Structure 1
Amino acid sequence: MAVTDTQRREERRISPVFWALVAVLGTSAWAVITDYGQSIRVGIFLFVVSGWVVSLCLHEYAHARTALHGGDITVGAKGYLRLNPFTYSHAVLSILLPVLFILMGGIGLPGGAVFIERGRIHGRWKHSLISAAGPLVNLACAIVLLVPLGLGLLDSVRIEFRAAVAFLGFLQVTATILNLLPVPGLDGYGIIEPWLSYNFRRQVEPFAQFGLLAVFGLLWIPEVNAVFFDGVYRLFSALGVSPVLASYGDSLFRFWK
Structure 2
Amino acid sequence: MTTAAARSDRRISPVFLGIVAVTAVSGWAVWTDFTQWPGIPLFLFVTAAWVVSLCLHEYAHARTALHSGDISIGAKGYLTLNPLNYTHALLSIVLPVLFVIMGGIGLPGGAVFIERGRIRGRWRHSLISAAGPLTNVLFALVCTAPFWLHALDGVPVAFQYALGFLALLQVTAAILNFLPVPGLDGYGVIEPWLPHRIRRQVEPFAPFGLIAIFALLWIPELNHSFFDVIHALLRALGISDATTYCGFDTYRFWRTADPFCAVNG
Q: TM-score, normalised by structure 1?
A: 0.96
Q: Is the 8 A contact 1:149 1:240 kept in 2?
A: yes
Q: CA deviation at 1:54?
A: 0.1
- The residue aligned with 1:98 is 96
Q: How does 1:87-236 map to 2 (within 5 A)?
A: 87-236=85-234
The structure 2 residue matched to 1:41, chosen from 33, 39, 46, is: 39
TM-score by length of 2: 0.94
CA distance in 2, matches of 1:240, 1:50: 24
Supply the distance in 2 between the matched residues of 1:51 and 1:155 (Cα, whole angstroms): 23
Q: 1:37 to 1:224 in 2, by over 3 A?
A: closer
Identity percentage of aligned residues: 64
For structure 1, which segment, 40-49 or 29-38, has the greater mean C-alpha deviation from structure 2 after superposition? 29-38
CA distance in 2, matches of 1:37, 1:218: 38
Distance in 2 separating the partners of 1:54 and 1:89:
17
Distance of 2:229 and 2:195 partners within structure 1: 30
Unaligned 5+ runs, structure 1: none
- Structure 1 residues 51-70: aligned runs within 5 Å: 51-70=49-68
2-structure distance, mates of 1:156, 1:150: 15
How many Å apart are 1:148 and its aligned residue?
Answer: 1.4
Give the aligned residue type for 1:180.
F
* Equivalent of residue 238 in structure 1, options 218, 221, 236: 236
Residues 61 and 81 in structure 1, CA contact (< 8 A), matched pair in contact too: yes
User: How big is each residue's C-alpha offset from its partner over 1:121-158, in whole Å with a ceiling of 9 and x where there is no partner?
Assistant: 00000000000000000010000001212322133111
Report if the CA contact (8 A) 2:110-2:184 is conserved. Answer: no
SS at match of 1:99: helix
Distance 1:39 1:225 in 2: 30
Contact 1:149 1:155 in 2 (8 A): no
Displacement of 1:195 in angstroms is 0.3
RMSD of aligned Cα (Å): 1.1
Is this contact kept in 2: 1:131–1:188, CA < 8 A? yes
Q: Deviations over 1:150-194 (max 9, x none)?
A: 322133111011111110111000101110000000000000000
- The Cα of 1:38 is off from its aligned counterpart by 4.1
Aligned to 1:250: 248
Corresponding letter in the other structure for 2:199: R
Distance 2:99 2:6 in 1: 36
Quick one: distance in 1 between partners of 2:42 and 2:60? Answer: 27
On the 8 A contact 1:106/1:250 being kept in 2, the answer is yes
Letter in structure 2 aligned against 1:247: Y
Q: Which ranges of structure 2 fall in alignment gaps of 5 or more residues?
A: 256-265
Comparing 168-177 with 143-152, greater Cα deviation is found at 143-152
Distance 2:103 2:245 in 1: 11
Aligned residues: 255
- Structure 1 CA distance, aligned partners of 2:77 and 2:83? 10
Q: Following the alignment from structure 2 to structure 1, what is the Cα–Cα distance between the partners of residues 230 and 164? A: 13
Distance in 2 (alpha carbons) for counterparts of 1:222 and 1:255? 24
More deviation, 221-230/138-147? 221-230
Q: 2:83 aligns with which of 72, 78, 85?
A: 85
**8 Å Cα contact 2:234/2:240 also seen in 1:** yes
Segments of 4+ in structure 1 off by > 6 A?
A: none
- Answer whether contact 1:52 1:168 (CA < 8 A) is retained: yes
Cα distance between partner residues in 1 of 2:92 and 2:9: 20
Distance 1:221 1:64 in 2: 34
Question: In structure 1, what is the Cα distance between the partners aligned to 2:172 and 2:241?
Answer: 12
